[in-house]
């Protein structure tokens, strides 16, 4: 079954994000973009190729991996445009003690001819290639998630779930949790937050995803609930296999082949660039040789001109001397003393 899933390692700093509320669809799209970056750059490393600057994803693959059902791409354009306008604060909870960033997710992003082309900042790409701390996410498993708050809660708890332990725990302040969900300043009454956000999200995680979660409200700093204690275990839920079957093998192979094709394209582009550079260097070298030859020829021309000038000057002097010489027999006069 593992060869029929698309998984990637998402850095903890990119999970703990402070940003305005993102929809479930947008979060799934972001994960797919990150997956494309990671898989492409790992292949680049394997094949000793330079980093890819601009990535391409067919629109139909984005739709498949996000569960986007509309045939009109206009809504998809709006969805991506909203993501590109958001400034994210990464590593909000400070799990990575050596990294903090506030940046946009894309340097550039546009849709044309059935392809989405995008470029990501180096600070984000560097966290995706060989992440030092991460959780492994299954993109297929997330396609059926509809509720906006499920994915951020799931990713956060999965990041603190130890697969070699039967049970893991994680404690977070209520305000920090709401910030990660993009709900700052909302649901001031805990009962409302629990009823509309927390309880339904945990129920969906337990039903559809690959960890089981329980939570407990705590009052640590005041008489009101200010902290949530989560308990997680990595047991596979009953519907896990069913969710995987929602993706046909042909679709999985198509996506995998596309990533390999992108890498092949990058390799060909790199080779062509190498050939162009080699040709340019050869032309540059030949031009340098020609310039040297031109200088030598010019030098010889100058020397030849100097010789010709000297020869002409000598001939003129000799001509002048010949004019002064008497013509015919020399007659000498002698005076008697």
Q: Is residue 167 part of a domain?
A: yes
As a whole number, the mean pLDDT across the chain is 82
CB 79 within 8 A of CB 23: yes
| Distance of alpha carbon 251 from alpha carbon 121, whole angstroms | 29
Average pLDDT for residues 38-44, to the nearest whole number?
A: 89
Residue 23 shares a structural domain with residue 167: no
Q: In this predicted structure, which of 13-22, 139-148, 288-297 has the lowest mean pLDDT?
A: 288-297
Which of 244, 275, 309 is the C-terminal boundary of a domain?
244
CB 96 within 8 A of CB 13: yes
| Distance of alpha carbon 98 from alpha carbon 102, whole angstroms | 14
In this predicted structure, the answer to whether residue 121 has a pLDDT above a threshold of 60 is yes
Q: Is residue 59 part of a domain?
A: yes
Structure tokens at 323: 């004019």
In this predicted structure, the answer to whether residue 326 has a pLDDT above a threshold of 70 is no
Domain count, the chain: 2
Q: Is residue 106 part of a domain?
A: yes
- What is the CATH number for 83? 1.10.10.10
Residue 151 shares a structural domain with residue 284: no
Which of 244, 279, 312 is the C-terminal boundary of a domain?
244
Average pLDDT for residues 246-270, to the nearest whole number?
A: 54
Residue-wise DSSP of 247-311: S-HHHHHHHHHHHHHHHHHHHHHHHHHHHHHHHHHHHHHHHHHHHHHHHHHHHHHHHHHHHHHHH
In this predicted structure, the answer to whether residue 136 has a pLDDT above a threshold of 50 is yes
Report pLDDT for 3: 41
Residue 136 shares a structural domain with residue 280: yes
Distance from chain centroid for Cα 155: 21
Report pLDDT for 254: 55
SS3 233: strand
DSSP 235: P
Report pLDDT for 170: 96
| Distance of alpha carbon 33 from alpha carbon 118, whole angstroms | 9
Residue 91 shares a structural domain with residue 215: no
pLDDT tens digits for range 169-216 = 999 999 999 999 999 889 999 999 999 999 999 999 999 999 999 999
Residue 126 shares a structural domain with residue 22: yes
Q: In this predicted model, which residue has the larger pLDDT, 130 or 12?
A: 12
Burial of 83 (C-beta count, 10 Å sphere; 0-12/13-18/19+): buried
Q: Is residue 17 part of a domain?
A: yes
Helix crossing, 59-66 with 249-324: angle to 10°?
150
Q: Is residue 313 part of a domain?
A: no
Q: Is residue 332 part of a domain?
A: no
DSSP 337: -
Residue 153 shares a structural domain with residue 281: no
In this predicted structure, the answer to whether residue 123 has a pLDDT above a threshold of 80 is yes
CB 83 within 8 A of CB 20: no
Residue 235 shares a structural domain with residue 253: no
SS3 69: coil
In this predicted structure, the answer to whether residue 118 has a pLDDT above a threshold of 90 is yes
In this predicted structure, the answer to whether residue 1 has a pLDDT above a threshold of 50 is no
User: Which helix or strand (DSSP H or E) is residue 58 part of?
Assistant: strand 55-58
pLDDT tens digits for range 90-103 = 999 999 988 888 99
Q: Is residue 308 part of a domain?
A: no
Residue 191 shares a structural domain with residue 271: no
Average pLDDT for residues 131-136, to the nearest whole number?
A: 91
Residue 3 shares a structural domain with residue 106: yes
Percent of the chain with pLDDT over 90: 41
Residue 25 shares a structural domain with residue 169: no
Residue 119 shares a structural domain with residue 185: no
Please name the residue ranges forming H helices in the chain. 12-15, 24-46, 59-66, 74-84, 122-129, 139-142, 150-159, 174-180, 190-193, 199-208, 240-245, 249-324
Q: Which domain holds residue 2?
A: 1-143+248-298
Q: How many Cβ atoms from other residues are within 10 Å of residue 141's Cβ?
A: 22
CB 142 within 8 A of CB 67: no
pLDDT tens digits for range 213-238 = 999 999 887 788 999 999 999 865 54
| Distance of alpha carbon 177 from alpha carbon 6, whole angstroms | 28
Calculate the dihedral angle through the C-alpha atoms of 86, 37, 164, 2, rounding to the nearest 10 degrees.
Answer: 120
Q: Is residue 315 part of a domain?
A: no
Residue 10 shares a structural domain with residue 79: yes
């Amino acid at each position: 079954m593992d060869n029929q899933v698309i998984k990637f390692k998402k850095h903890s700093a990119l999970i703990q994000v402070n940003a305005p509320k993102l929809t479930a669809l947008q979060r799934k799209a972001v994960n797919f973009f990150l997956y494309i970056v990671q898989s492409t750059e790992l292949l680049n490393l394997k094949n000793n190729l330079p980093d890819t600057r601009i990535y391409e994803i067919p629109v139909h693959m984005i739709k498949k991996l996000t569960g986007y059902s509309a045939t009109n791409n206009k809504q998809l354009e709006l969805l991506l445009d909203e993501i590109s306008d958001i400034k994210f604060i990464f590593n909000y909870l400070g799990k990575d003690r050596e990294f903090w960033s506030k940046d946009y997710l894309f340097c550039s992003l546009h849709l044309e001819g059935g392809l989405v082309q995008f470029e990501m900042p180096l600070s984000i790409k560097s966290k995706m290639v060989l992440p030092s701390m991460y959780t492994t996410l299954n993109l297929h498993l997330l396609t059926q998630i509809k509720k906006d708050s499920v994915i951020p809660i799931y990713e956060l708890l999965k990041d603190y779930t130890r697969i070699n332990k039967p049970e893991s725990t994680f404690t977070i302040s209520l305000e920090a949790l709401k910030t990660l969900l993009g709900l700052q300043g909302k649901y001031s009454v805990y009962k409302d937050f629990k009823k509309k956000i927390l309880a339904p999200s945990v129920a969906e995680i337990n039903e559809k995803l690959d960890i089981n979660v329980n939570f407990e409200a705590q009052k640590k700093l005041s008489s009101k609930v200010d902290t949530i204690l989560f308990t997680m275990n990595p047991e596979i839920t009953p519907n896990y296999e069913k969710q995987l079957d929602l993706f046909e093998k042909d679709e999985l192979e198509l996506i995998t082949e596309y990533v390999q094709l992108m890498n092949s394209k990058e390799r060909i582009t790199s080779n062509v660039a190498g050939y162009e550079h080699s040709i340019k260097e050869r032309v540059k070298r030949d031009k340098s040789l020609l310039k040297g030859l031109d200088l030598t020829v010019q030098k010889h021309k100058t020397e030849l001109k100097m010789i010709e000038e000297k020869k002409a000057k000598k001939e003129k002097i000799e001509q002048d001397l010949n004019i002064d010489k008497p013509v015919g027999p020399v007659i000498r006069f002698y005076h008697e003393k």
